[in-house]
Structure 1
């Protein structure tokens, strides 16, 4: 893993209350470039593989609807977790983040993720 990705995943873990896991995945290939989890039962790479299908479905939906829009992020709210799929500015990568919803608010999670992920496309 590159130093940038090691720093990226560690910074999220250290600076986001309720952090569960994160991964960085290339959309074209489905390859995960980095992942980190504080829960041994939570595999962010596996979650990213399934969430890649969510991203592709959303791209297909935009195309079918004739919407010329860029996806910033996709939010999935579970009973006790928040999952955010944040797409890079160039649309080639996504960051998948899972947090404990009882320990963080959505606005803080999104802002922190944006802060740390803004350089992903330029660094990979």
Structure 2
């Protein structure tokens, strides 16, 4: 598993322009399996723990509304950053990604995350 996660971080670093930070966490426990930050003052594990609460709140809202949908991703746009919480199809894991909005291509980034999250479900 660790080789896969190391390769995942390497791929993200190579393929996602403007990368600030990335992590992969389990929804049920909040355990972060891997994290990486390009900035010393940006802790992706702390960010993931707060974003886990966002995922749980959205799941509760979906349930309260009686919707039959699952979360694909949650997009948070800040003035200079884009944060994406990309939830696996089975709802067990999420990738948290922060990128510099002036350098990132949102469409390409979301497409890559979609591919990566399918691989994560297979490997974890």
Q: Same fold (TM over 0.5)?
A: yes
Q: After TM superposition, give the deviation of residue 117 of structure 1 in Å.
A: 2.4
Query: Hey, what does 2:12 align to over in structure 1?
Result: 12
Unaligned runs of 5+ in 2: none
Query: Hey, what does 1:116 align to over in structure 2?
Result: 116
- Is the CA contact 2:87–2:117 (under 8 Å) kept in the aligned structure 1? no
Q: After TM superposition, give the deviation of residue 115 of structure 1 in Å.
A: 2.3
Query: Hey, what does 1:24 align to over in structure 2?
Result: 24
When normalised by structure 2's length, the TM-score is 0.96
For residues 3-27 of structure 1, what are the alpha-carbon distances to aligned partners after superposition, in whole Å with 9 as ceiling and x for unaligned?
A: 1011001110111110111000000
Could you say what the CA RMSD is over the residues aligned between the two structures, in angstroms?
1.0
- Is the CA contact 1:8–1:117 (under 8 Å) kept in the aligned structure 2? no
Query: Hey, what does 1:65 align to over in structure 2?
Result: 65
Q: Does 1:74 align with 2:38?
A: no
- Is the CA contact 1:25–1:34 (under 8 Å) kept in the aligned structure 2? yes
Aligned length: 124
For residues 29-72 of structure 1, what are the alpha-carbon distances to aligned partners after superposition, in whole Å with 9 as ceiling and x for unaligned?
A: 01000001111111100000000000000000000000010110
The 10-residue stretch of structure 1 (101-110 or 25-34) with the greater mean CA deviation from structure 2:
101-110
The 10-residue stretch of structure 1 (21-30 or 105-114) with the greater mean CA deviation from structure 2:
105-114
